[in-house]
Amino acid sequence: MAIVKLDNHLIDQIAAGEVVERPASVVKELVENAVDAGASRIEIATAGGGKTLLRVTDDGCGIPEGELSLAVRRHCTSKLSGGLEKIATLGFRGEALPSVGSIARLSVRSRAEGHDEAFEILVDHGRCEGPRPTALSRGTVVEVRDLFQKVPARLKFLKSERAESAAITDVVRRLALAEPEIRFEIAGPDRTTTVFPAARDMGERIGQVVGEDFAANSVSINAEREDVRLTGLAGLPTFSRGNSLQQFLFVNGRPVRDKMLVSALRGGYADVMAKDRHPVAVLFLTLDPALVDVNVHPAKADVRFRDPGLVRGLIVGALRQAFAESGLRSSSEGAA
Ligand code: ADP
Ligand code: MG
């Protein structure tokens, strides 16, 4: 067969397969865009576990009329002016909106800061319409309907509405921990609403997201090895869970789900927790961006460290030491 170049719609659909695994991945991309836009309030509304409707509303900088059609076009981004080495934003690939627009009905309404008018652009399974004037007082509203309805192969693998809703909440909780000063509101099914009000500091946000009882049952972690820093809270071994949903790991401020980091966390608890239990922890790793690659995967959940052994040793060592110190304290208190 002859070699032909794929058409753009097909390219977007293929990219969508990598960026968009389930409704929660769309929420992640849209909320990250809102964070990058400097929003101070972000609202997430969903119906049908995100399969029928996903809506993310922000009060960020907005998109000017002239750039709306670029925003939904592949490889168009406002975020890479400094080159790949200087990424200060969560996004940079310019793939999320065109990918979503190729496998759903997408609407982006926006009013750019300092402009008197708002505009809307629609993308219906790759077919673009607009921009045309609309009403909006500020910021951006992105709506996604009928996600995957025309991609049966994907649709088949989605879980129940409840499970997809839970995955959406999970994504938002992780981003909320990364951005304590932003107010998050999740309107779920059955008129349930979860609110994380703008927090004064990380401690307050951890209380909102993970629970006040966690703060009371954890040790604070503050360790450093060769300019790699680890901070946060680690739950006491007695404060364990039956699953790993309450493990929040961040690398240079981004939520990650990296296997090596999860296993290092586990390693720190190896001697003090039963094998079938899972620790609760919120840990932030900070290091020179040159020593970590966060671009391994489009969804950016995995990271690659220049020196994984160093990072692993830091985490395991810091946790063990923290438990040893807290153990000493509690046993001496017990004796008194
Ligand atoms: P990326 O975030 O990688 O740049 P996206 O496809 O997610 O790619 O978004 C494309 C562009 O659209 C962004 O670079 C940004 O300029 C604009 N954009 C998307 N969402 C928003 C938003 N909520 N507020 C302001 N601008 C946005
Ligand atoms: Mg983006």
CA of 333 to the centre of ligand 1 (A): 54
Does the pLDDT value for residue 329 go beyond 60?
no
Report ipTM for this prediction. Answer: 0.99
Residue whose Cα lies nearest atom 16 of ligand 1: it is 78
Strands (E), 95-246: 105-111, 118-124, 127-134, 139-145, 183-187, 193-196, 218-225, 228-235
- CB contact at 8 A, 22 and 74: no
3-state DSSP assignment of residue 229: strand
- Residue 332: band (very low, low, confident or very high) from pLDDT cuts 50, 70, 90: very low
Confidence at residue 257, expressed as pLDDT on a 0 to 100 scale: 86
Q: 91 in ligand 1 pocket by Cβ < 6 Å?
A: yes
For the domain made up of 211-330, give the CATH fold: Ribosomal Protein S5; domain 2 (3.30.230)
The domains of the chain are located at 8-196, 211-330
C-alpha separations of 221 from 28, 63, 247, 310, 322 in Å: 27, 40, 14, 17, 7
CA of 71 to the centre of ligand 1 (A): 6
Confidence at residue 299, expressed as pLDDT on a 0 to 100 scale: 63
**Ligand 1 mutation target, pool 27, 42, 97, 120, most atoms within 8 A of CB:** 97
Read off the pTM: 0.91
DSSP code, position 49:
G
pLDDT in tens, 36-92: 999 999 999 999 999 999 999 999 999 999 999 999 988 778 877 766 666 667 777
Alpha helices in 106-151 (DSSP H): none
Per CATH, the number for 8-196 is 3.30.565.10
CA of 193 to the centre of ligand 1 (A): 26
Look-up: residue for tokens 């810091």?
318
Q: 295 in ligand 1 pocket by Cβ < 6 Å?
A: no
Closest CA to 239 of 284, 281, 177: 281
